[in-house]
Chain A
């Protein structure tokens, strides 16, 4: 595609796909942050683990894609629960300053990176396409079917998550916990249990996102860190700890990336520099992000 006839519709559609997937990643991170005030550095690594599980079950064993996604989600949920119960909980209880959890999160990120590298090696892995063919709208917008499916699955996961948080009992408990930990405890919410459930759910979202995306972009052991950083950015754009904010942030970043990669291509690899700098300017004007609470 030469730079004169950029099809803006196509760019927007690409942005939508990306946004849908990004929102799913950001949701898990923001949930963990809202519940436990922990900035989970290992979120990207959890995403990578989810990707590799899907790669093995779907790509290697040849089981249905859906099974693989569910397996990714469930495994990661368990991993998340274990991490919360045996690592974060004792450290939060013992440490003087709450920043200590960040070191723990960073250490867990390194740990998962090491495990991923040992188990899966450095190679880029991909899986066969789930669906062939493209949807073609007057040769203007081209949408591969598999991307539509993934976007739809990501979208329905997001909707399911929101419904769960809004209407189920654990969802309500977790929202109460995020609002005010002590008050929730006084009202009889089992803080320990729901912290664990929340962390597990956050990890599960990361795993599902990883599983879904492996069918489009593949997965390799090195992308954990960059994914974490992207997730941080989305959370910052929307406001940390706010679910709607994470979704908004995901879509905004997806859109910016898609537009940036098309428009700025003439000036070299500037997209991310521009995004980062504008994010810093944005945050200095509105530190709490789009929808965040105005505390630090």
Chain B
């Protein structure tokens, strides 16, 4: 937890000192992607391979974009709305597909991502391939009375504002996840991961549990997507596609499936790794994927499996 707060205060200070303002965008993206990845992680936690987070990020993003541009709803209201919309959507979709297991579930969630993209292309409200552009910055219609969040367009440094927004949400999200995993529900989820039949025979309501977990996961996807749209001020059917869904999954894997903060570490490593490799030009993907393969060969259980191991040693 202390780690979170230090990142919160120290990072803006460091950036101010170094003058690398563009870093905010990177960090904001990392924060948002890690929120969505946290959702993916939760579905892994109940023993499902989820490659469909891109679909919910896209749905959340579009909902926010449509509400803001066409119905002039406050952006702040659309964040929870996007999350709720995705959660409801995921309950409807999840009811049938969560009965699938293993690779079947993985494949159908992959298809789901593709469905979301094609739906966005086909529906009139999403404006097809042209997407929705020039979405106003958040805050212009904001509820000023009680909130301390000022109008983003009047701020001199929008990037910093977005950074605080994303970082705050990330902290809340991971605090919530940590709480969830160490709660009764978390223990029940672990029982699902190991053996569903056994869990259900002891009296765990596995259907409700996995739907709840999936809904929370999609909620996070929707929230991440909606803020992403506000930052880029545009959304296209290709904003979140299969590659993004796979990336969410990779973030979780690289961080480690067994650790709550795995998705965050994974996102940081993967995003920064990708960015650093940008200088290598056309060899970027080659080096990136080679590193991924090497990572899998050396630490197949995630980076955090290394760190925790060391921590345990120190404690002893």
Contacts and interface: CB of A to CB of B under 8 A. Distances in A.
A106 B246 contact: yes
A229 B101 CA distance: 18
Taking residues whose C-beta sits less than 8 angstroms from the other chain, chain B's interface range is 35 or more
Contacts of B253: 99-100, 102-103
A103 B262 CA distance: 15
Contacts of A107: 250, 289, 292-293, 296
Interface in A228-261: 229, 232-233, 235-236, 240
Interface residues of B, dominant DSSP: helix
Contacts of A284: 96-97, 99
Interface stretch (A2-10, A51-59, A87-95, A202-210): A87-95
B286 A269 contact: no
Given A99-B49, A104-B296, A273-B118, A287 B289 contact: no
A273 B99 contact: no
Interface in A132-161: none
B23 interface: no
Interface stretch (A65-73, A109-117, A162-170, A185-193): A109-117
Interface string B89-124: 000010011011111111110111011001101100
Given A113-B285, A268-B122, A103 B111 contact: no
Contacts of A99: 44, 49, 253, 257
A236 B250 CA distance: 23
B122 A270 contact: yes
Interface in A69-101: 87, 90-91, 94-97, 99-100
Interface in A107-133: 107-108, 110-111, 113-115, 117-118
B249 A236 contact: no
A111 B286 contact: yes
B282 to A, nearest CB: 6
Nearest to A272: B118
Interface residues of A, number: 50
A283 interface: yes
Contacts, number: 143
A251 B292 CA distance: 36
A114 B289 contact: yes
B35 interface: no
B213 interface: no
A108 B100 CA distance: 26
B122 A106 contact: no
A283 B97 contact: yes
Contacts of A25: none
Given A97-B257, A270-B122, 6 more contacts: A91-B296, A95-B301, A229-B111, A273-B115, A276-B118, A279-B108
* Nearest 10 interchain pairs by C-beta: A296-B101, A284-B96, A95-B300, A110-B289, A114-B285, A111-B289, A107-B292, A114-B286, A103-B253, A273-B118
Interface of A: 33, 37, 39, 41, 87, 90-91, 94-97, 99-100, 102-104, 106-108, 110-111, 113-115, 117-118, 225, 229, 232-233, 235-236, 240, 268-270, 272-273, 276-277, 279-281, 283-285, 287-288, 295-296
30 contacts: A39-B106, A41-B246, A96-B257, A99-B44, A99-B253, A100-B300, A104-B293, A106-B246, A106-B249, A107-B296, A110-B285, A111-B286, A113-B285, A114-B284, A117-B285, A118-B282, A232-B110, A240-B107, A272-B114, A273-B118, A273-B119, A276-B114, A279-B108, A280-B93, A280-B96, A280-B112, A283-B97, A287-B104, A288-B104, A296-B101
